Structure 1
Amino acid sequence: MTKDRLISLDIFRGLTILLMTIVNNPGSWATVYPPLLHSEWHGCTPTDLVFPFFIFIMGVAISFAMPTKAYDNTTFNKIFTRSLRMVCLGIFFNFFGKIQLFGLEGIPLVFGRLVITAIVGYALMGNFNAKIKTYLAVSIFFIYLILSYIGIEEYKIVRLPGVLQRIGIVYFIASLLYLKTTQRTQLLIAIGLLLGYWAVMTLVPALGFEITNLEKGTNLAAWVDSILLKGHMWETTNTWDPEGILSTIPSIATGIIGLLIGQLLNNSVLKTEKAKKMFIIGIILIVLGQIWNLVFPINKALWTSSFVLYTAGLATLTLSILYYCIDIANYKKGTKLFLIWGVNPMIVFFLSEIIPQAMVMISFPNPKTPTENINLLDYLYVAGVKPFFNNEMNASLVFALLYVGLWSIMLAYFYKKKMYFKV
């Protein structure tokens, strides 16, 4: 750990990615406690906080990663390449399950996909010189586009948007704003984005609809996705994408709010004053978000302006409390687990998405009903965890916690060996 790291921010990141791992890996999606699911549409559950918290934390971290605002071609290339590497890692999640190799099937195909994963992961997270990093990222990105649009059957409907893709885009824009604009300009841009998105979503109807609406599949954001991302959206709907094009615009404001908080933390004001200011800002943002919710409902899938203010307020409030307890009061007891998660988020992001996919691809006859097949992931849950619980929701949660435990062991090893995986 370097001296200039903000420990409370690392721990906040660790808490967030640990929660992400829990909600993404239940034993069974049919038996999950409601707070560990996304809200059906309007509203906000604890699970809905994970993504905006990541973007907020990334925004805060920018001013720590670039303490001096020295802008030149080298700096731009570094920002561009890091952004593109995140985008490419995110897109690979969507390609993984569709990769075909020389007619292979079953375990040989899964093994081949994992070999390609290792190659792509090394290319996008390996520590090369700047030119090689850029060359590899650009090459991989164009390979994705070619495969997606050249007409190959397996890739005609591969999804292109995603969580890491949005994070990469927001990182690129927020970093440039940090280097090229003042805090006042950054604030005005964030306000403009939120007001503009509200106006567009509530005043401009989607083509084919006489009035505007914020319903699934028929709002303006869904229409934009259906035109520009046709065939490459979220497979569950195939009519809109929760990380689509138009809804990415207000997420930039989430990153800017984090950026402004990061600059507050980096100024020369007393630490206690910083914590107090963050706490007050957090409360104000939450209140404003709830007020805006009355006319522009809090909605993660649409990333509404009220959702931005509400979640950024909760993130600011949380960080202010962690900052006071850890960086001011120096109370760190019980935080080591979250720290080891927080300093190595990218490897968790990448492999925690790949490993479950690979396990689902490995199937065999179900020992209890040999006429039916069961995949490895389901078998581990049904045979290894579920029989020990009467409450299936508890069983499903424990399965996720066991997965978190395995990751904790790996991350503790990486932390001990000072192995940090970055884009």
Structure 2
Amino acid sequence: MSKDRLLSLDVFRGLTIAAMILVNDPGSWSYVYRPLLHAKWHGCTPTDLIFPFFLYMVGMAVSLGKPKTGHDRKLITSKILKRSLYLFLIGLFLNGFPYFELSTFRIPGVLQRIALVFLAIALMHHYFKTRVQIIIGISLLVGYWIIMSFIPVPGIGEPNLEPETNFAAWFDRLFLSGHMWRLSETWDPEGFLSTLPAVVTGLLGIFSGKILFAAENKAQGLGKIFVLGNVLIGIALAWDMTFPINKSLWTSSFVLYTGGIAMNFYGILFWLLDIQKYRSKLTFPFEVFGSNAITAYALSGVLASLFGIISLGDYSIHQVLFDGLVNIFGDNYFASFAYAVGFVTLCYLPILILYRKKIFIKV
């Protein structure tokens, strides 16, 4: 089995990006089916699985690269630094587009977190042994739990996990005040402190890749992945009682819970697509999305902004299309969902053209 091209990894990446675009672009945020929304605070919906799935996939992709030494290590380190920088800058561009108001410019974001996680886990993959990576991962999860649960919040008081008064929110305000998520302004779901446990999500992908891709007997490797994934889910549910599963805080229990689900989900894809060689027209669109995942995500961000500011008569393109769908279906929720599906399809078409022309844009 070639490690250079794994259909399951492409499809997994494509599914995740398509799902990201779907949940980010409803016809109206007032009419969204509950599973397509994030949990209000504690808890986990299907939508909350999307971002950790992508970080987990980043780790699996990193695991395919053989650790470098000597001069090769210097070259790969330079590439890692450049790729992380480019991802971070693209994320900043999407945050600012189209007005780039520097006084309220949001600094954190999805691509920025991906960039930081990729930087950390890729360097660890090439510089540290697996045992050291495991120690670092455990230390990050336990350390984050201690910080959030036991250290008093300066200027606020007792440690807590409330949106505006938890330690992570306070920490981010020290460095990002005025440049955080516009819907809250006092805390950010992709803040800097909560990126530390997110690094472990990427490490879980590396560990899974090492277990699965290096195994001579793929069935045995899969068995280990399924066992480990369900053990992590069990630990997460126990930890949830004292450190709740929370996507916005990226709690340690959230890392283990979503990581365990990702292991099970990817294991099924790997078995179907790379062991059983199952092929279907249903998987092809996700293979296409997965071939240019970051390009698809960036394109969706630009198009969503343009649809919101370009007018057709008295209303934006977005509003005109949504109102048209409401008139067709007579149901606001279904019209909002149909808009999201249509938007995903619109983003898919240029990515399909790139795929047909064998153009794969690597950041």
Report the TM range for the smaller structure's normalisation.
over 0.9
Distance 1:416 1:215 in 2: 48
Letter in structure 2 aligned against 1:269: E
Which amino acid in 2 is paired with 1:62? V
Q: How do 1:208-287 residues align onto structure 2 when only pairs under 5 Å count?
A: 208-287=155-234
Report deviation, 1:402: 1.1
Counterpart contact for 1:205–1:219, Cα < 8 Å: no
**3-state SS in 1 of match to 2:227:** helix
The C-alpha deviation readout for 1:322-380, integer Å capped at 9, x for no partner, is 111111111122311211111110111111001110121113543xxxxxxx2121112
Runs (5+) with no aligned partner, structure 1: 100-153, 367-373
The separation in 2 between residues aligned to 1:305 and 1:198, in whole angstroms, is 7
Q: Give the Cα separation in 2 of the matches to 1:422 and 1:338.
A: 17
**2:159 alignment partner, SS class:** coil
Alignment partner of 2:190: what SS?
A: coil
In the TM superposition, 1:188-203 aligns within 5 A as 188-203=135-150
Q: Distance in 2 between matches of 1:210 and 1:93?
A: 36
Of 343, 347, 351, the residue aligned with 1:411 is: 351
Shift of 1:270: 0.8
| Aligned partners of 1:60 and 1:262 also within 8 Å | yes
Could you tell me the percent identity over the aligned residues?
43
Matched, 1:399 2:339: yes
The residue type equivalent to 2:200 in the other structure is A
Q: CA deviation at 1:39?
A: 0.7
Matched, 1:168 2:115: yes
Cα RMSD, aligned residues only = 1.3
Indicate the SS of the match to 1:244.
coil
Task: Indicate conservation of the 8 Å contact 1:16/1:54, yes or no.
Answer: yes
Residue 379 of structure 1: aligned partner: 320
Distance in 2 separating the partners of 1:280 and 1:390 = 47
In the alignment, the residues of structure 2 paired with residue 210 and residue 223 of structure 1 have an alpha-carbon distance, to the nearest angstrom, of: 11
Residue-by-residue CA offset, 1:144-193 (whole Å, 9 max, x unaligned)? xxxxxxxxxx3111000101001101101101111111111111111110
* C-alpha displacement of 1:85: 0.4
1:45 aligns with 2:45: yes
Q: How does 1:345-384 map to 2 (within 5 A)?
A: 345-366=293-314, 374-383=315-324
Asked if structure 2 preserves the Cα contact closer than 8 Å seen for 1:363 and 1:375, the reply is yes
1:13-412 correspondence runs (5 A): 13-64=13-64, 66-70=65-69, 71-99=72-100, 154-333=101-280, 334-366=282-314, 374-383=315-324, 385-412=325-352
Question: What residue identity is the alignment partner of 1:387?
Answer: N
1:235 is displaced (CA, Å) by 1.1
Which has the greater radius of gyration? 1
Kept in 2: contact 1:57–1:258 (CA 8 A): yes
Contact 2:55–2:202 (Cα < 8 Å) also in 1 = yes
Q: Secondary structure at the match of 2:22?
A: helix
Shift, 1:31, TM fit: 0.5
Matched residue SS, 1:190: helix
Name the amino acid aligned to 1:351.
L
Q: Conserved in 2, the CA contact under 8 Å of 1:279 and 1:321?
A: no
Distance (Å, rounded) in 2 between the aligned partners of 1:282 and 1:249: 21
Aligned length: 359
Whether the aligned pair in 2 keeps the contact of 1:27 and 1:397 (CA below 8 Å) is yes
Of 189-198 and 400-409, deviating more is 400-409
Deviations 1:72-108, CA, capped at 9 Å, x for gaps: 3221110100000000000111111324xxxxxxxxx
